[in-house]
Amino acid sequence: MRTIPVLLALFAAACGGARAAAGSTNSTAANRVLIIDPSSMPVAAGKATLTIGPLLRTGGVYSGDYKISVFPYFYNNESGRLAIVVSDESLAGMAQGKAVAIIGSATTGGKGGRTRHIDATATPADLNQGTLKLWFMAGDRKMIFEPAYHFAGNGTAAVAVKTIETNPASGAPRRLPVSHRQALDAAFLFP
């Protein structure tokens, strides 16, 4: 399940960046923050929800954090890092309004992190937004999520929004999750 969020985030990032530069890629489009809306799918007597943090593109790879919550099966929850490879050619195709296939990986956090392959298709609605379809295997089950995506500002805005809090149990710092709305607001507050 951890792979799906990663793939989704990467695919969304690829789609948004390509759309931002109609007909060609440019550094402004390629460096915007990719925001992917939360998405859910049914599982046996419950639902799985994929949440992806803001994704930043560096060296042709969109990356960021993801989390999968499975209700009521909380022991299947996972979180980790998502990495989606999005070439300049893929971004250019998206800028032309074409659906683009993208691949990536999701790596679970913690001890013994596991890496999953992710496949995705980004379908742009316009230069700034569209929909994703991403899928990966979780055991014998194919997990499919279909969130919307949009672009917000440049890469530095999302980084400025991350906050640090102390874990009451251990006193160690921990990073708080960043909502999609906070990332979007940050893009306009910290250009």
Q: Is 160 domain-assigned?
A: no
**Is residue 15 scored above 70 in pLDDT?**
no
Give me the pLDDT at residue 72, please.
92
Token output for 106: 């999701």
Q: Is 93 domain-assigned?
A: yes
Q: Which amino acid is at 174?
A: R
Q: Is 107 domain-assigned?
A: yes
pLDDT bucket at 167, cuts 50 / 70 / 90:
very low
pLDDT bucket at 127, cuts 50 / 70 / 90:
confident
Give the C-alpha separation, 81 to 47, whole Å: 21
Give the C-alpha separation, 5 to 9, whole Å: 6
Contacts of 140 (CB under 8 A, 6+ apart): none
CB atoms within 10 A of CB 10: 35
Count: domains in the chain: 1
Q: Is 49 domain-assigned?
A: yes
Give the C-alpha separation, 42 to 188, whole Å: 35
Q: Which amino acid is at 151?
A: F
Q: Would you call the peptide bond into 168 cis, given omega within 30 degrees of 0 as the criterion?
A: no
**Is residue 165 scored above 60 in pLDDT?**
no
Q: Is 83 domain-assigned?
A: yes
**Tens digits of per-residue pLDDT, 142-155?**
999 999 998 887 64
Give the C-alpha separation, 158 to 36, whole Å: 13
Q: Is 175 domain-assigned?
A: no
DSSP category for residue 76 = G
Q: Where are the beta strands (DSSP E) in 30-172?
A: 32-36, 39-43, 46-52, 56-58, 61-71, 78-85, 100-108, 115-124, 129-138, 141-145, 148-154, 164-166
CATH of residue 104? 2.40.128
Q: Is 158 domain-assigned?
A: no
Across the chain, mean pLDDT equals 74
Give the C-alpha separation, 114 to 120, whole Å: 19
pLDDT bucket at 30, cuts 50 / 70 / 90:
low
This prediction's pTM? 0.65
- Domain membership of residue 60 as a residue range: 3-152
